[in-house]
Amino acid sequence: MPYPSDYFAALFPPLSMQIIQRFSLRSGAICIGIFTLIIVIFLGGTYGWAQAITLAGIYTVVSIFLAFYTLTSRRAREARDRNQILAQELQTTNQQLEKVSEQQQRLAIARERQHLARDLHDSVTQSIFSMTLTTQTALLWLDRDPNRVDELLERLKHLAQGAISEMQVLISEAPPTKFPEGGFITNLRQYLADHQHPDTLEIRLDVDGSQSLSNTEEQYLFRIAQEAVNNIVKHSGATLAKICLHLANPIWMEISDNGQGFDLQVVRKAGHLGLVNMEERANEIGWDFHFSTSLETGTSVRVTKRLSTKRQAEW
């Protein structure tokens, strides 16, 4: 027949579970040790010390088993709660990244529109302005000397054709959204081969090194090269133009010509925005922009990739 001390000892395993549930493993181990000692003392007077120790060992094993089961369950629950919190944080982070990505995409579109507007200002806008002046002149001569109107209309026709050609060039020169592997240099060579320029002008492309660039860097470098080549063809009067692409640290690209150069202050006052476009594109990808021009030696545009702090220390 069980004694009251047996029922008293049977209360310790559930109590051990509650302690492990609420406190640390160390606190639970100390309590189980104390419970074991209490059980031995209470059962010793009833069963004798040898049997009391045996029964205390059984109760202790049961308490330890239940304590570890409770500890495992608690840790599983805590891990589940942490995973839920991490999942919520991850979802919030993904939503924030999506918003940032959308903002960057809108910003990139706005920047490209701004660049396109400047390209139009440097080319088509000037042609349209000339067409307007020619039309006004033709209207003035219509009553005074109709014979001169035909000449002005012919000039107006050429101006209109030139504006259309400029628009077609701006549209056709848009680079692909992503160059295939190794396709940046191939596309640049193809662009130079297809670009219409005087027979007296030779354009060379020299590539040194093989370090890879990001897709954004390739896009912007392609645009800078286009802008520089267009300026050379339109304004330099050069016989030789070079594009040097150095794909080894430090990474840089330089477009130079042996043309007549120009006065930078005069060009800026005239509102030609090609240089501004190139400098902004270089800054947007974290590259430095350098420009030099001379009436004796021609013009040079150089963009250089900025080195990280760690890489600068190594150099």
Does residue 161 register a pLDDT over 80?
no
Q: What percent of the chain has pLDDT over 70?
A: 68
Q: Is the pLDDT higher at 199 or at 44?
A: 199
**Closest-CA residue to 200 (of 232, 243, 158):** 232
- For tokens 């925005």, the residue is 273
Number of domains in the chain: 3
Q: Report which listed range, 97-101, 201-205, 274-278, is most confident.
A: 201-205
Give the pLDDT confidence score for residue 29 in this predicted structure. 73
pLDDT tops 60 at residue 54: yes
pLDDT for the residue numbered 313:
42
Query: Both 209 and 287 in a single domain?
Result: yes
- pLDDT tens-digit map of 166-199: 666 565 555 555 665 557 888 888 888 877 677 8
Q: Give the model's pLDDT for residue 251.
A: 94
pLDDT at 295: 77
Q: Check whether 253 has a pLDDT greater than 70.
A: yes
Confidence of residue 1 (pLDDT cuts 50, 70, 90): very low
Cβ contacts of 178 within 8 Å, gap of 6 or more: 215
DSSP the chain: ---HHHHHHHTHHHHHHHHHHHS-HHHHHHHHHHHHHHHHHHHHHHH-HHHHHHHHHHHHHHHHHHHHHHHHHHHHHHHHHHHHHHHHHHHHHHHHHHHHHHHHHHHHHHHHHHHHHHHHHHTHHHHHHHHHHHHHHHHHHHHH-THHHHHHHHHHHHHHHHHHHHHHHHHHTPPPSSPPTTHHHHHHHHHHHHS---TT-EEEEEEEE-----HHHHHHHHHHHHHHHHHIIIII--SEEEEEEEESSSPEEEEEE-S----HHHHHHHT--HHHHHHHHHHHTTEEEEEEEETTTEEEEEEEEPPPHHHHHH-
CA distances from 276 to 229, 265, 290 (A): 15, 13, 12
Please indicate, yes or no, whether residues 211 and 139 belong to a single structural domain of this protein. Answer: no
| pLDDT surpasses 80 at 213 | yes
Provide the CATH number for the domain around residue 280.
3.30.565.10
294 with 186, same domain: the answer is yes
The residue segments making up the domain with residue 143 are 123-172
In a domain, 167, yes or no: yes
315 and 191 inside one domain = yes
Predicted TM-score (pTM) of the model is 0.51
Domain assignment of residue 44, yes or no? yes
For the record, the structure tokens of 131 come out as 């067409």
pLDDT of residue 314 exceeding 50: no
